[in-house]
């Protein structure tokens, strides 16, 4: 098993990674993204949060602890952040599952967000068209709609998944049949 070299916090914050990655106590942690359904839902959630009067961001770093940075797929804020990454809990964090995501890795992210004080952590499964809301009180798979803990934001699952295209298929490149 290969051992990854540790990266300093200063190096992480001053380097552009492609694709960008989380930072967990000196380790760079890959994020899975870049597929059609994931991208579609990122844009959809961002738009829905904007429509509800929030400032919405894709892939904005959050310092969830002294040596821990997470980059959620989407986050919603009540106020425009003043710095280049967040050092306080955002109002809503949204993670969109990709086929390569491992349950244990996602659970660790959710734990980081909740321990940091994020009140609304939403995890979307595009394949099954499910949304699970995680809060300090527990987790709930949403039916019909998702609401923030304070009840101020409500989004129907129809708004999220209603216009989503059918499951993508991997077609061979043209001319290779």
Report mean pLDDT in 10-residue bins for the chain, 177 residues.
67 78 80 80 97 96 93 96 94 92 91 98 95 97 96 97 80 54
| Phi, psi dihedrals of residue 26, rounded to the nearest 5° | 90, -10
pLDDT confidence of residue 172: 55
Q: Give the pLDDT of residue 101.
A: 82
Say if residues 25 and 32 touch (Cβ distance below 8 Å): no
Q: How far is CA 50 from the centre of its chain?
A: 16
Query: Residue 22: which residues within 8 A CB-CB, separation 6 or more?
Result: 28, 29, 31, 68, 69, 70, 71, 109
Structure tokens at 154: 């409500």
CA distance 136 to 98: 24
Amino acid 135: pLDDT: 97
CB 7 within 8 A of CB 23: yes
Q: Give me 110's structure tokens.
A: 């959710």
The pLDDT of residue 96 is 95
Give the domains, in start order, of the chain with CATH numbers.
Answer: 33-161 (3.90.1570.10)
pLDDT of amino acid 2: 44
For the CA atoms of the chain, what is the radius of gyration? 17
Q: What pLDDT, on a 0 to 100 scale, did the predictor assign at position 166?
A: 84
Which residues is 140 bridged to in the sheet?
A: 133
Question: Cα(34)–Cα(98) distance, rounded to whole angstroms?
Answer: 9
pLDDT at res. 102: 87
**91 within 8 A of 77, measured Cβ to Cβ:** yes
């Amino acid at each position: 098993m290969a051992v990854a070299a540790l990266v300093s916090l200063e190096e992480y914050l001053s380097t552009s990674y492609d694709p960008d990655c989380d930072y967990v106590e000196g380790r760079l942690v890959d994020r899975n993204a870049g597929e059609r359904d994931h991208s579609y839902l990122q844009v959809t959630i961002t738009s829905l949060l904007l429509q509800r009067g929030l400032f919405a961001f894709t892939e904005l770093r959050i310092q969830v602890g002294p040596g821990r940075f997470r980059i959620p797929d989407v986050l919603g804020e009540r106020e425009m952040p003043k710095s280049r990454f967040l050092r306080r809990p955002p109002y809503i964090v949204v993670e969109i599952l990709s086929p390569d995501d491992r349950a244990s890795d996602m659970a660790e992210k959710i734990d980081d967000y909740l321990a940091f004080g994020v009140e609304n952590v939403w995890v979307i499964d595009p394949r099954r068209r499910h949304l699970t809301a995680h809060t300090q009180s527990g987790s709930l798979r949403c039916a019909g709609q998702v609401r923030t803990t304070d009840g101020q934001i409500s989004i129907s699952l129809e708004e999220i998944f209603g216009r989503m295209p059918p499951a993508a298929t991997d077609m061979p490149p043209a001319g290779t049949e």
